A and B are shown apart, each in its own frame.
Chain A
Amino acid sequence: MSGEDQQARVEADGAVGALAASGVPVRPGADRDAVGGVVPRWVAEPADADGCAAVAAAAARDGLALVPRGAGTKIGWGAPLRRCDVVLDVSALNRVDHAAGDLVVEAGAGTPVEDLADVLGASGQRLPVDPVVPGSTVGGVVATGLSGPGRMLYGPVRDLILGMTVVRADGVAASSGGRVVKNVAGYDLGKLHAGALGTLGIITSVTFRLRPVPPAAHTVSARADDPARARELVASVQRSHTAPTAIEVDRPAAGAVTVHVLLEGPKDGIRARADEVSSLLPGSSVSEDLPEGWGELPGGPGDTLLKLTSPPARLPAVLDALAEAAPDAGPLPVRGSAGSGVLFSALPSATDPVNAVRAVASLRARVEEATGGHGSLTVLDAPRPVHDAGLDPWGTVPGLPLMRSIKKNLDPDGVLSPGRFAGGI
C-alpha cells in the first residue's frame, strides 16, 4: 500500500462520524464493492439527490476520495484510482419523468437503461442509445459516454442530453441546460460530464431528447473479402440515398469482415430501401431482426478493451493494424461503427501483461500514423496486471492543460474518482 493510500485510510477511519452526519445510510465496503481491486472504506447509499449532496459535502470536509457508482457494470473503467474512500451508490435515484408529448424525459442517474426503455416504449418512444453493456444505468452510460451503432444517425449519447444536474465535489448541486429540446442559455456543462468518468461531478439526473420508435427496421448484411472491400461497401451505402441508422463492421478473432446496415423508418418505404442497400452489397441477406452480437463490445471478461477512432475512410488501415497488433494473440476481434469511425476491440485476457502494454503502444502509434493524427486509441478497461505493467490508457490528449484547469476549478482537492482520467486527472 502506498503512503498516500495509507494516509487516506487513516483519514477515513476518523471520518465515519462525518459521513454519518450526512444522514445517509453508510456501510463498510465489501469485496463486491471493489473498484479496480481497491475495496472502498465506505459505501454510502443515499435515497435521493439531496442525500448525494450531503455525502459529497461530508466527504469533502474530510478530504475523502469519492467514487460515484450506478450498477457497477463499468466501475473499473479508466486508469486505476489513486484513492477510493467512499463509493457513492446512486441506485436509488431512479425517478423517471417522461413528458411524452414533448419527446423529453428526465431520469435519475440510477435508473436502469432497460427500465427507462420500458417506460418510454409504452408511449411508442425511445432513447436512441444502444444498450452496449447490459444492466447499465443512465448515469453510467452518460459518465462513460458509451454509444452503440445508432450513434451514426442519432449521434453519440452526449448529443441526446438536454440538461443535467450534478453534485459538485464540494456538495453543491448545480444544473445546466434545461427540459426543452432547444435551448442555448448558459454553458452546456452536460457535454463536459458525458464521458468524464465521474471526475468532475456526481451526475444525479439527466434530461434527454427522445425519438419515436420507428415502425419498421431491416438489417442488410454482407461478407467482405478484406478490409479494403469492406470500406468500399460501407462507402457505397453512405453515398446512397437510403439514410441508414447504422453501418457496422464485425470481424471475430478468426474470421471474415461482415458489414451490417440497419435501416429504420415507415413500413411503406423500408423494403425498397433494404432492396437498394442489398443491391449495393453483393451476396447480402436481409433480415427483420438485428444480427447476433449487435452493438455488443467484443471480447470477454478480463480482456483489455480498446476503443479506436478514425476518419471513416481509414477503416482498412485500422482493421489491418488490429489484425497484426498482437503477434502472440492472433487477429483481434473488432466491432463498431464503420459509418462514423468508432471501433471497439479487445486483447485477450491470456495476453502477457507486458506484451499487452507493448501491443497497445504499437497499435496506437500505427493508428495515429495511418489516420494522419486524426485517430486515437484509448483503453477503456484493463485488468490490474496490465495497468501495473505500465499501461498508458489514454495516449496523447490534446487540450490536456485546459482539462486540468477545469478539473482544478470544479474539484480543487481532487477528490472525485482521482486518477481515473487522462493525464492522471
Chain B
Amino acid sequence: MRERAIRDRSDESPHDRSTTDPAGAAHGRADRADRLSALVPRLKRICGGDGVITDASRRRTYESDGLTYHAEVPGVVVLPTTAEQVAEVLGLCAAEGVPFVPRGAGTGLSAGALPRTDGVLVTTSRMRRVIEVDPDNECAVVQPGVANLDITRAAAPYGYYYAPDPSSQQVCSVGGNIAENSGGAHCLKYGFTVNHVLGLQIATPQGGLVRLGGKAPEAPGYDLIGAFIGSEGTLGIATEATVRLVRTPQKVTTLLAAFTGMDAGGEAVSSVVAEGVLPAAVEMMDALSIEAAEAAVACDYPEGAGAVLIVELDGPAADVDADAAMVRRLCERAGAFEIREASGAAERARIWKGRKSAFAAVGRISPAYIVQDGVVPRTALGEVLGDIARLSAESGIRVANVFHAGDGNLHPLVLFDDAEPGAGERAAEVSGAILDLCIRHGGSITGEHGVGVDKACSMPRMFTPQDLETMDLFRRAFDPAGVANPEKLLPTPRLCGEVPGVRKDVHPLVAEGRAEQF
C-alpha cells in the first residue's frame, strides 16, 4: 500500500508512451494518441465539458490506485454522472477499439484501476447518489460512486446497516467493492460483497445497459450478478446496485485477549471454532504489529503481549452473552493472561483502535513496507506463521503479522528501508515467498485485494492453463474486443512472459525501462 520501492520516472507526455507496445514502435504510439485526441470532442458531448479531463497535470492525479508503485498517466479521464453516459462512453470505446479502465475511489491495492496511456479512465466519482433506502424490503439502491459507509449512514435511521465493511469503507466506492468482491473484518459471519448484492445495472463493454436482478432475489437465468462481482472491471462497469441491508444487531460484545505467544492465540481461535461459536470477527496481531500500534496510537494493549486476539460477537443479547462467556473460557484455557470486554461503543473503539491503525502504524517503525494479502486454511495458520518467522530470520527482513484469524486471511507487512540499496528487492522476495507458502498450503494468492496487475502473473501458480483458458472464454463472452480493463486479472504473455510462471524478481515495468527501482 505504501510501498515506494519502484517509482515511475516518466515525465514525458502520456501520449508518448504506450502500454500495448513495449517495443515502442513510434508510429503505433502516434496512431493511438491521434485516435484518443479524436475521441475527446465526442466524449465531451457525452459527459459535458467539465466531465472530461485532458489537462496533463490533472490526469496525472489519477495515475495509480492504492498500490502506488504501478503508475500510468491515463490518456483521458471521464467523469460521467449517469448510467447512460457510462454506456455511451463504453460504446464509443468499443467502436473505436480504445481500451477503458473503470475507477471508483482508487483505494484498490492490486493496481486494478491502473490507467492506460492509450485509453479512457472512467471514474464514478460524480455518481454518488443513494437513490433509495427501502427498509420494508431491506435493501438500498445506490449509484456506483457512493462510499461504502454512506450506505450504512443512510440506512442507520431505520435500524439497518450495510454489512460488508472493508477498512477503507469511509472512502472506497460500492462499484469498487463490487469489482473486488470486498470483504471486511466482519466477513467471517456476514460474507462478502457478493452475498449482499440483489441487483445490478451494468454498462457492458459493447456499450449496452443491462439490468440484472433487483429488489427480489434469484432472478431467472444464469447468475450474472454472482459472476460479475469480483470481476475487477473486466466485464463492464456497474452503474447502479441494489444492496441488501442487515438489521442492526441488538448487542455487540468485543473481547480482547492477550497471550504471551502466537501459538496460544492460535489455539484459542481453533477451540472457538471447534465449539461451534461463530464470531462476527476474529482478528490477531503479533508482537511487532502491537509494538507499531503502541508507538502510533498508544492503544494501551496489555503489557508483555506476544499476541493479541480480538473477538467480536453480535446478535440477540442472550446469544451474545452466552457466546462471550464461552469465548472467555476458551481464551483462559488457552493461556490468555488478560481479557478485556467491551459492550459500549467507546470501549469497543478503544479495543479496535490498535488493530485499525496497524497498517498505518507500521510507518512508525519502518520507512517502507509491502502489504501482502494471502490466504491459508485456518488450521494451517500456526505452521505458516512459523514459516514466515523463519523466512524473516533468514533474510533479516522484519515481518509484522496482522490478520483475519477466523478465515485464514494473512496480511503480513514486510518492512524495509527504501534508502538501503537492494532492500526493496529483498522485501519483495520475502513477500513473494509468503505467497508461495499460501499456495503450498492450498490457500489463495488473494483474499480481498484482488489480482489486478499486481498478481496477474501469479495466477498460473494457483490455476492450471485450462482453468485460466476457461476464465478467458468467460471474459470474452462479455468483452469480445478485449477493451475492458485489459491486462488485468489474467496473465498475458506481454506482462508475464510466454510461459507465465514464477514471479519475476524484477518488476515488469522495471524490466521494460518504464519505471525504475531506487
> Are A185 and B446 closer than 8 Å at their CB atoms?
yes
Chain A residues with Cβ below 8 Å from B448 are 182, 184
The residue of chain A having its C-beta at the shortest distance from the C-beta of B193 within the complex is A184
Q: Which of B192-211 contact A (CB under 8 A)?
A: 192, 194-195, 199, 204, 208, 210-211
> Are A187 and B216 closer than 8 Å at their CB atoms?
no
B262 interface residue (CB < 8 Å to A): no
Determine the distance from Cα of A17 to Cα of B444 in the docked complex, in whole angstroms.
42
A32 interface residue (CB < 8 Å to B): no
A292 interface residue (CB < 8 Å to B): no
Stretch at the interface among B5-13, B65-73, B81-89, B225-233: B225-233
How far is the CB of A169 from the nearest CB of chain B, in Å? 11
> Are B231 and A187 closer than 8 Å at their CB atoms?
yes
> Are B375 and A182 closer than 8 Å at their CB atoms?
yes
> Are A145 and B218 closer than 8 Å at their CB atoms?
yes
Partner among A102, A173, A183, A215 whose Cβ is within 8 Å of the Cβ of B378: A102
Determine the distance from Cα of A395 to Cα of B183 in the docked complex, in whole angstroms.
34
Q: Which of A375-425 contact B (CB under 8 A)?
A: 375-376, 378, 394-395, 397-403, 405-406, 408-410, 421-422
> Are B278 and A189 closer than 8 Å at their CB atoms?
no
Determine the distance from Cα of A421 to Cα of B221 in the docked complex, in whole angstroms.
8
Supposing A101-B378, A184-B230, A410-B470 touch, asked if A155 and B195 sit within 8 A by C-beta, the answer is yes
Determine the distance from Cα of A151 to Cα of B473 in the docked complex, in whole angstroms.
31
Chain B residues with Cβ below 8 Å from A409 are 473-474, 476-477
Partner among B247, B276, B378 whose Cβ is within 8 Å of the Cβ of A212: B276
Chain A residues with Cβ below 8 Å from B221 are 394, 397-400, 403, 421-422
Chain B, residues 245-284, CB within 8 Å of chain A (1/0): the string is 0010110000000000000000000100111111000000
> Are A186 and B463 closer than 8 Å at their CB atoms?
yes
> Are B219 and A187 closer than 8 Å at their CB atoms?
no
Supposing A180-B444, A241-B247, A268-B318 touch, asked if A403 and B181 sit within 8 A by C-beta, the answer is no
The residue of chain A having its C-beta at the shortest distance from the C-beta of B489 within the complex is A186
The residue of chain B having its C-beta at the shortest distance from the C-beta of A273 within the complex is B316
How far is the CB of B215 from the nearest CB of chain A, in Å? 4
A317 interface residue (CB < 8 Å to B): no
Chain B, residues 375-387, CB within 8 Å of chain A (1/0): the string is 1111100000000
Chain A residues with Cβ below 8 Å from B375 are 178, 180, 182-183
The residue of chain B having its C-beta at the shortest distance from the C-beta of A174 within the complex is B470
Chain B residues with Cβ below 8 Å from A405 are 477-478, 480
Interface residues on A, range: 35 or more
Partner among A156, A184, A212, A373 whose Cβ is within 8 Å of the Cβ of B217: A156
> Are A191 and B227 closer than 8 Å at their CB atoms?
yes
The residue of chain A having its C-beta at the shortest distance from the C-beta of B379 within the complex is A101
The residue of chain B having its C-beta at the shortest distance from the C-beta of A310 within the complex is B216
A269 interface residue (CB < 8 Å to B): yes
A341 interface residue (CB < 8 Å to B): yes
B418 interface residue (CB < 8 Å to A): no
A158 interface residue (CB < 8 Å to B): yes
Partner among B223, B321, B462 whose Cβ is within 8 Å of the Cβ of A158: B223
A69 interface residue (CB < 8 Å to B): no
The residue of chain B having its C-beta at the shortest distance from the C-beta of A159 within the complex is B195
A313 interface residue (CB < 8 Å to B): yes
Partner among A173, A269, A394 whose Cβ is within 8 Å of the Cβ of B318: A269
B240 interface residue (CB < 8 Å to A): no
> Are B477 and A101 closer than 8 Å at their CB atoms?
no
A104 interface residue (CB < 8 Å to B): yes
Stretch at the interface among A22-30, A37-45, A192-200, A347-355: A192-200
Determine the distance from Cα of A146 to Cα of B217 in the docked complex, in whole angstroms.
13
Chain B residues with Cβ below 8 Å from A406 are 222, 474, 477
> Are B463 and A175 closer than 8 Å at their CB atoms?
yes
How far is the CB of B478 from the nearest CB of chain A, in Å? 6
Determine the distance from Cα of A186 to Cα of B467 in the docked complex, in whole angstroms.
9
> Are B223 and A192 closer than 8 Å at their CB atoms?
yes
> Are A309 and B136 closer than 8 Å at their CB atoms?
no
B49 interface residue (CB < 8 Å to A): no
Chain A residues with Cβ below 8 Å from B250 are 241
Supposing A186-B451, A194-B223, A410-B474 touch, asked if A398 and B212 sit within 8 A by C-beta, the answer is yes
Supposing A101-B378, A155-B191, A188-B226 touch, asked if A309 and B276 sit within 8 A by C-beta, the answer is no
> Are B210 and A399 closer than 8 Å at their CB atoms?
yes
Chain B residues with Cβ below 8 Å from A400 are 221
Determine the distance from Cα of A371 to Cα of B213 in the docked complex, in whole angstroms.
12
Chain A residues with Cβ below 8 Å from B408 are 102, 180-182
Determine the distance from Cα of A362 to Cα of B407 in the docked complex, in whole angstroms.
48
> Are A156 and B218 closer than 8 Å at their CB atoms?
yes
> Are B459 and A186 closer than 8 Å at their CB atoms?
yes
Determine the distance from Cα of A409 to Cα of B322 in the docked complex, in whole angstroms.
52
Chain A residues with Cβ below 8 Å from B412 are none
Determine the distance from Cα of A333 to Cα of B330 in the docked complex, in whole angstroms.
49
B21 interface residue (CB < 8 Å to A): no
> Are B477 and A340 closer than 8 Å at their CB atoms?
no
Supposing A196-B222, A371-B216 touch, asked if A215 and B276 sit within 8 A by C-beta, the answer is yes
> Are B220 and A394 closer than 8 Å at their CB atoms?
yes
> Are A182 and B407 closer than 8 Å at their CB atoms?
yes
> Are A181 and B217 closer than 8 Å at their CB atoms?
no
A256 interface residue (CB < 8 Å to B): no
Chain A residues with Cβ below 8 Å from B137 are 311-313, 341
Chain A residues with Cβ below 8 Å from B226 are 158, 188, 191-192, 194
Chain A residues with Cβ below 8 Å from B463 are 175-176, 185-186
Q: Which of A158-181 contact B (CB under 8 A)?
A: 158-159, 168, 172-176, 178-181
A61 interface residue (CB < 8 Å to B): no
Chain A residues with Cβ below 8 Å from B404 are 182
Determine the distance from Cα of A145 to Cα of B224 in the docked complex, in whole angstroms.
14
The residue of chain B having its C-beta at the shortest distance from the C-beta of A307 within the complex is B218
B450 interface residue (CB < 8 Å to A): yes
A21 interface residue (CB < 8 Å to B): no
Chain A, residues 236-247, CB within 8 Å of chain B (1/0): the string is 001101110000
Chain B residues with Cβ below 8 Å from A145 are 218, 223
Partner among A267, A374, A402, A422 whose Cβ is within 8 Å of the Cβ of B220: A422
Chain A residues with Cβ below 8 Å from B223 are 145, 158, 191-192, 194-195
B475 interface residue (CB < 8 Å to A): yes
Q: Which of B53-110 contact A (CB under 8 A)?
A: none
Inter-chain pairs besides A155-B191, A159-B191, 12 sampled, C-beta below 8 Å = A99-B379, A174-B467, A182-B448, A184-B450, A185-B451, A185-B459, A192-B223, A239-B159, A266-B319, A268-B322, A311-B214, A406-B474
Query: Would you mind naming 6 contact pairs between A and B with Cβ atoms under 8 Å apart?
Result: A102-B379, A180-B444, A243-B247, A243-B319, A266-B318, A403-B224
Residue ranges of B at the interface with A (Cβ–Cβ < 8 Å):
134, 136-139, 159, 180-181, 183, 187-188, 191-192, 194-195, 199, 204, 208, 210-212, 214-224, 226-227, 229-231, 247, 249-250, 270, 273-278, 315-319, 321-323, 326, 375-379, 404, 407-409, 442-451, 455, 459, 462-464, 466-471, 473-478, 480, 489-490
